[in-house]
Structure 1
Amino acid sequence: MSKIINVIQQSQQWEPKLVALRRQLHQIPEISPHLSQTKSLIINALADFPLKRRKVKHHHSLCFDLKGRKKGPTIILCASMDGSSLKEHANHQFCSQILGQSHALAHDFQMSCLVNTLQLLSQYKDHISGTVRAIFLAGEQDHSGAIDIIQSHLLEHAELAFSLDFDHHIESGIVEYQYGISKPRVDEITLEYIDRNQQEKTCYYQNNPVDMATQLTHEIPQLLRQEFGALTPLSLNFTQLNAGEANNFQPSFIRINGRLYSFSHDNATNAIQFLQQVMKHRFNDDETNVIATRLCPPLENNTTWLNYVLSTLNQIKTSNQVQEQIRPRLIGDGFAHFNLVLPCVKLNIGCMDSNHQNRVCEKALVDGMMILSNMISKHLMVDSDNIILGKF
C-alpha cells in the first residue's frame, strides 16, 4: 500500500523544530540594516537543503528558490525579519538579548514557519510542478526591503505572493481574513514652522517652541478625529519632535515627524490638506509646510486568490475557526508593495496565550506551517501515489 504523505500530520510533528527556531530568533530582534545574526541563522538553517539563493539588491533581504522537478507556476511565500523598537516585558529564558528591541510583531513566528516549511517541502521537491520562492523581508520600518525585492525583479512571472501575520490579540486556533484592504497606506508626514523674519509675535508665538510643538502633538490627533469622525480609520502617530528658540545661528523653528495611516487615497489626501490648514491657522504665517511622502500603499487581499486560499483550509480548520476580520489594523506593512506587481494574500493567525498575559501561544506555529505547506501541496504538487492532491 502506497505511503500517503499527509502535510497536516507532518507539520504537527515539526512542532519542536518550529519552537526551537522561533526561540533562537526571538533572542535576536535585530532591525534593518543590522540583521547579520538573523540572516546567518536563517542561512545556516537552510544550508543543507536543495535551495537556490537569489541575489537581492542591497543584500538586506534574503530570497531562496525551491524548484520542482517539472515546470509550473511560481508561488511566493514571505516573512518579515525586523524586530521592533519596543522593550520586552516578558520574563522567560529566551527573552530578547538586544536592549530596547523585541519581536513584538511576531516576526520570529513568521520566519520560523517559513524556514521549516521550506525544509519540509524540500523533501518532496520531485513532486512539485513549479517553484516555491521564499522571501525573508528586511526594511520593515521604511519598507525599503520590499522595494529592493521589486527592483531585483524577483516578483516577475509569479502567480501569487502569500504571507502570514501572527496576532496575540486573536485567540489561538483562529484564522482571520479580510476582503479588500486589510492594512493601511502609510505616509511619512513632516509638520514644519520656521520664523525667518524674527519679528515680534503675538503671545501665542512668544511661548517656548518646544512647548508649542508638544501642544501641537496633543491637539492635531484630536482635530483629525473631529474633522473626519471618530469611526474613520485614520491615525497619525508622531515619531520625532525638534524645536528651538532663535539664536545667532538659526531662527525659531518647529519640526514634527509622524506617520499617517489611512485606508483610502482620498482620506490620505484630505487629511494632508487638513494638516496644512491647521498649521497655517495656528501660526498665521506663510513659513509653514507639510511634507508628505508615501511609504507604502494599502495592503489589499486579492479576492480570487483569497477565496482559493480559504478553500484549502477545510482540512486544517473547522468553519468556526476561520473568521472574517472585523476591525481595521492601523499598522502598515512593507509586504503591501508587492500589490503593485502581483496578487497578494495575507492571513492573520491567532497566537493569544489565555494562561499567560505577556506570552504568546507557540502552537500557532503549527497552524502557520500547516497553512503554508498545505496551500503549496494543493497548488504545486504533481500527480503521485504518494501525495494528497487538490486541483485548482
Structure 2
Amino acid sequence: MTNQAPTASPLAGDPRFSGLLDAAHALQPKTVALRRQLHQHPEQGLELPLTQAAVLSALEGLDLRVHTGQKVGSVIGVLEGARPGPTVLLRGDMDALPLQEDTGLAFASQTEGTMHACGHDTHVAMLASAARLLAERRDQLAGTVVFMFQPGEEGHYGAKFMLDEGLLDVADRPVDKALALHITSKETSGVLRSRPGPIMASANSFTIRITGKGGHASNPSDAVDPVVAAAAMVGALQTVVTRRISVFEPTVLTIARISAGTTSNIIPETAELEGTLRTLSEASRATMLAEIPRVCAQIAAAHGCTTTFEVDAGYPVTVNDDEVADRVHDIARATLGSMHVNPMTNPLMGAEDWSYVLQRVPGAMAFLGACPPGVDPDEAAPNHSNRVHFDESALPHGVSTYAAFALDMLR
C-alpha cells in the first residue's frame, strides 16, 4: 500500500463537523451491539428477515419515514431536514457469504455455512448510528438524507433491485450525491481511502463448453479430444489480454475451473472451462466479451471440436465522481484528522453493485481500514476469508464520515 504525507483539509475547523467523532464514539455501544447481533445471525441473498428486523428496530424512534422492499428484504429510511434542499443517499449493504466462520470470536456466526466475511454487518451498524447522529442534527440539514440498507450485494444484484423499486424517488427531490463505505482488514484501523474515477472493476463469470468425440485413451486418433482443445484455450486467452487490450487498461482474465473426464483411460466427449473477467473500462469489457468466444471457437475448430459460451451479466465498473471523491477526502480530514486519510493510488479488481447507483448519481465509494490491533495489514486475513476479523474501534470513523458527508452536502 502507498502512504502519502498528510494533507490539510480546506474544511478544517468547520463547525458542522465539530464533535461528530466524539458523538460517534458515544454511540459505540449501540453500534457494536447491532454489529455483533448481525454477525451472530448472518443471512445470504435478497431476503434477510432477521437482518431487516434488526435494522427496523435500530431505526425505531428516529424521525424517519421508513420503507421496506416489495421484492427484496431492503430497508430505506428518509430523513427530512429542517429546510428544503438537495437529497443525499448513504448506503450500507446487509448480506453475508456462504462460508463457515473460523475466527474464534465470542460473537461468531451461529448459522452453519454462513458468515459476515465481507464486513456488511459493520456497514449496517455504522449506517444505523449515522442515521441517529443526523436525526439529532436535523435542524442543521437543508435537504433530505436517504439511508439505503441493501440486501444481495454478494452477486445477487440487490442495488439494481432497489433502483428498480424506486430507490431514487423516495424523496421529494432526486438524489444529488451518494456515498457508500466499505470496511477492509487490509488497511490500518480508522484510515479512510478513496480515489477519483474507477475504484473497482467490472465482473463477468463465463463458462466455455467444448464438445468433441469420446474414445479410448490408448487410441486418440479415433477420438476428438476436447481436453487438448481446452488446454490450448487457457494459454490463448491470456494472449488475447496482452495483444488486444492496451497495457494502460488493466484487465484480468482467470480460468479458475477446468473439468473433463471420469478416469485415466477414457477420452471424454466434453470439457468445460469456467472463469472470471475483470476490467476497469466498459470498452475493454466489451472487447474481451467478444474476443473470448471468438478465439475459443476458432481453437475448437482447429481441433475438430465445437464450443458454446455462456456469460453472466456481471456488475459494471464502479466509477467514483472525481469531485465527490476528493470532497470525501476533505470531509474525512476535517472529521477524522489528516493522519486518517490516505488516498488510493490504484483501484481494486473486485466488483460492487454500488456501481449501478454511481451510473445514475454522482457519488463515491470509500474504504475504511479496520485491521485488528497488533496485526500487520499485509498479513491480516482479507475480506472473504473464513478468518477475517475487523477492529471495531474503527466504526466511529465510519459513522462520523457518513454523517459529515450528509451535513456537508446539505449545508
The 1:291/1:87 distance shift into structure 2, 3 A limit, reads same
Match of 1:375 in 2: 405
Instruction: Note if 1:325 corresponds to 2:344.
Output: yes
Relative to the length of structure 2, the TM-score reads: 0.79
Amino acid at match of 1:351: A
**What's the CA shift for 1:350?**
0.7
**What's the CA shift for 1:346?**
1.0
Match of 2:300 in 1: 283
Q: Do the aligned residues in 2 keep the contact of 1:77 with 1:162 (CA within 8 Å)?
A: yes
Match of 1:98 in 2: 111
Amino acid at match of 2:150: L
Q: Do the aligned residues in 2 keep the contact of 1:272 with 1:290 (CA within 8 Å)?
A: no
Match of 1:188 in 2: 205
- 1:161 corresponds, among 168, 178, 181, to 178
Match of 1:314 in 2: 333
Q: How does 1:252-271 map to 2 (within 5 A)?
A: 252-271=269-288
- Partners of 2:210 and 2:70 lie apart in 1 by 37
- Partners of 2:232 and 2:28 lie apart in 1 by 49
Structure 2 counterpart SS, 1:171: coil
Amino acid at match of 2:165: S
Relative to the length of structure 1, the TM-score reads: 0.83
- Partners of 1:217 and 1:198 lie apart in 2 by 19
The 1:243/1:64 distance shift into structure 2, 3 A limit, reads farther
Identity of aligned residues (%): 23
- Partners of 1:115 and 1:187 lie apart in 2 by 32
Q: What RMSD, in angstroms, separates the aligned Cα atoms of the two structures?
A: 3.3
Q: Do the aligned residues in 1 keep the contact of 2:230 with 2:273 (CA within 8 Å)?
A: no
**What's the CA shift for 1:91?**
0.7
State which drifts further: 125-134 or 213-222. Answer: 213-222
**What's the CA shift for 1:94?**
0.7
Match of 2:80 in 1: 67
The 1:265/1:200 distance shift into structure 2, 3 A limit, reads farther
Structure 2 counterpart SS, 1:173: coil
- 1:24 corresponds, among 25, 32, 37, to 37
- Partners of 1:155 and 1:313 lie apart in 2 by 25
Match of 1:363 in 2: 393
Match of 1:110 in 2: 123
String of CA shifts for 1:290-340, please: whole Å, max 9, x gaps. 233432211111112222222222322333431221233121101110122
The 1:161/1:379 distance shift into structure 2, 3 A limit, reads closer
- Partners of 1:38 and 1:347 lie apart in 2 by 23
Amino acid at match of 1:109: T
- Partners of 1:143 and 1:332 lie apart in 2 by 12
Q: Do the aligned residues in 1 keep the contact of 2:99 with 2:113 (CA within 8 Å)?
A: yes
Structure 1 counterpart SS, 2:167: coil
Q: How does 1:157-236 map to 2 (within 5 A)?
A: 157-195=174-212, 203=220, 227=243, 233-236=250-253
Match of 1:272 in 2: 289
Structure (1 or 2) with the greater strand fraction: 1
Q: How many residues align?
A: 371
- Partners of 1:149 and 1:204 lie apart in 2 by 55
Instruction: Note if 1:46 corresponds to 2:29.
Output: no
**What's the CA shift for 1:275?**
2.3
**What's the CA shift for 1:255?**
4.0
- Partners of 1:64 and 1:203 lie apart in 2 by 65
Q: Do the aligned residues in 1 keep the contact of 2:192 with 2:332 (CA within 8 Å)?
A: no
Match of 2:92 in 1: 79
